[in-house]
């Protein structure tokens, strides 16, 4: 493998890593986990070559995301609690379905990698800017009681929102030792996107969050084989609009691939997402609401030479989700195009 191949693919994956965080801010309608089924970190974007070195300089990545998911009564009711301002605990039966679609969503990710080492490693900063259109719908019949009042109510709702999501800055450090590569990162959510607690669909999550973790990549350039795993934890601050605080989330993303040529990469990707602690706050009307989901799917990547100074990289991956709890599941697909500095020989 040429060193240019190593760096261009590695750089693309590093910027994709931050997108996994910012995508969450623009997918509130997908009902992932935590409050109303929405989490800060979207699993699956951090995959192959997550910890490998980068080429110093500026770069730009754009991600197009499409998805279709659905959820049952627990997630549907959790979403309606926030929208309806329900202030009493719910007791009864609920027959409901929640659906969501990204139509699609896009993410602009400018970044910069420093040439001067920091703590013996390579420093990188990026900023994720999500934008696009989300749609969500719910059909439900509730039979039960809110406090001392019994009721039966049926209905449906549909909501669509367009605009920008929350900004996501990310800082990472990387170290390389032959075929072994290590990375640590720190990211978080800034509540700048379109958000309204009474809406069914949003482009922001309504609260700040901090996420930290690390990654390991084994990459044998001569054989063309690589394997990467990334693990992280999210601490969520309270949503001041709803007085609801999500629990601590854990996410593990992985990727394995083989380079059949100097430009063509094919492999598998997957993730495990699990909420470790209960939701809380005076606005929590659904209890602990711990969530989890598992996903797996294929990926293909291709390097596109531009000129002596720049290279492009196109990657397509898709996930099928299963084993979900208190969380919507379905399928999602990502198309990523990155423009980065070409490696110097």
Q: Is the pLDDT of residue 45 over 80?
A: no
Residues 250 and 25: beta-carbon distance below 8 Å: no
pLDDT confidence of residue 284: 76
State mean pLDDT over 147-166: 68
pLDDT tens digits for 217-247? 999 999 999 999 999 999 999 998 888 898 9
Give the per-residue pLDDT at 173.
Answer: 98
Over residues 276-326, the pLDDT tens digits come to: 998 888 887 777 878 889 999 999 999 999 998 999 999 999 999 999 887
Give the global pTM. Answer: 0.80
Residue pair 265/257 in contact (Cβ under 8 Å)? The answer is yes
Beta-strand pair 209-220/180-189 = antiparallel
Residues 247-256: b if buried by 16+ CB within 10 A, e if exposed? bebbbbbbbb
Among 90, 156, 126, 130, CA closest to 13? 126
Which one of 2.40.50.100, 3.40.640.10, 1.10.10.60, 2.40.160.40 gives the CATH number of domain 3-341? 2.40.160.40
pLDDT of residue 11: 46
306: helix, strand or coil: coil
Q: How far is residue 301's CA from residue 254's CA, in Å, rounded to a whole number? A: 16
pLDDT given at position 342: 86
Tell me the β-bridge partners of 294.
272, 322
Higher pLDDT, 84 or 270: 270
Domain ranges of the chain: 3-341
Percent of the chain predicted with pLDDT > 90? 47
Pick the range with the lowest mean pLDDT from 54-68, 78-92, 307-321.
Answer: 78-92
Length of the chain, please?
345
What pLDDT sits at residue 160? 83
Residue 4 has pLDDT above 60, yes or no: no
Q: How confident is the model at residue 144 (pLDDT cuts 50, 70, 90)?
A: low
124 pLDDT above the threshold of 60 = yes
pLDDT digits (tens, 9 = 90+) for 168-177: 999 999 999 9
- Using the predicted structure, report yes or no on whether residue 83 has a pLDDT greater than 80: no
Place of tokens 């627990």: 74
Considering the chain, what percentage of its residues have pLDDT values greater than 70?
Answer: 73
pLDDT tens for each residue of 15-28 = 443 343 344 444 43
Distance of CA 296 to the CA centre of its chain: 15
Q: List the one residue out of 255, 270, 344, 343 whose CA is nearest residue 301.
A: 255
Q: What is the pLDDT of residue 65?
A: 84
Q: Positive or negative CA dihedral for 240, 242, 247, 250?
A: negative
d(CA 183, CA 175): 6
With beta carbons less than 8 A apart as the criterion, state whether 61 and 15 touch.
yes
Whole-angstrom distance, CA of residue 13 vs CA of residue 316: 12
Segment 149-159 shows an average pLDDT of 59
């Amino acid at each position: 493998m040429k060193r240019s191949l190593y760096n261009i693919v590695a750089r693309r994956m590093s910027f994709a890593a931050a997108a996994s965080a910012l995508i969450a801010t623009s997918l509130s309608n997908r009902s992932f986990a935590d409050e109303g089924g929405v989490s800060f970190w979207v699993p699956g974007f951090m995959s192959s070559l997550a910890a490998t070195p980068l080429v110093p300089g500026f770069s730009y990545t754009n991600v197009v995301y499409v998805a279709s998911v659905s959820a049952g009564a627990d997630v549907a009711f959790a979403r309606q609690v926030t929208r309806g301002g329900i202030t009493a605990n719910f007791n009864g039966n609920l027959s409901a379905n929640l659906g969501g679609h990204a139509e699609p969503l896009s993410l602009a990710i400018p970044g910069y990698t420093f040439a001067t080492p920091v703590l013996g490693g390579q420093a990188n900063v990026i900023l994720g800017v999500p934008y696009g259109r989300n749609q969500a719908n719910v059909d439900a019949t509730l039979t039960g009681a809110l406090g001392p009042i019994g009721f039966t109510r049926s209905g449906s709702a549909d909501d669509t929102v367009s605009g920008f999501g929350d900004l996501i800055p990310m800082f990472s450090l990387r170290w390389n030792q032959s075929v072994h590569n290590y990375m640590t990162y720190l990211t978080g959510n800034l509540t700048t996107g379109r958000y309204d607690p009474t809406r069914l669909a949003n482009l922001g999550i309504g609260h700040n969050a901090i996420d930290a973790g690390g990654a390991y990549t084994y990459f044998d350039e001569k054989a063309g084989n690589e394997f990467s795993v990334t693990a992280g934890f999210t601490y969520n601050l309270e949503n001041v609009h709803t007085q609801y605080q999500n629990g601590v989330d854990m996410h593990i993303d992985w990727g394995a691939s083989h380079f059949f040529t100097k430009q063509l990469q094919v492999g598998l990707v997957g993730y495990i997402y699990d909420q470790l602690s209960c939701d809380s706050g005076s606005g929590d009307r659904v209890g602990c609401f711990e969530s989890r989901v598992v996903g797996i799917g294929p990926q293909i990547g291709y390097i596109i030479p531009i000129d002596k100074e720049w290279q492009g990289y196109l990657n397509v991956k898709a996930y099928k989700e299963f084993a979900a709890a208190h969380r919507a599941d379905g399928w999602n697909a990502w198309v990523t195009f990155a423009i980065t500095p070409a490696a110097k020989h």
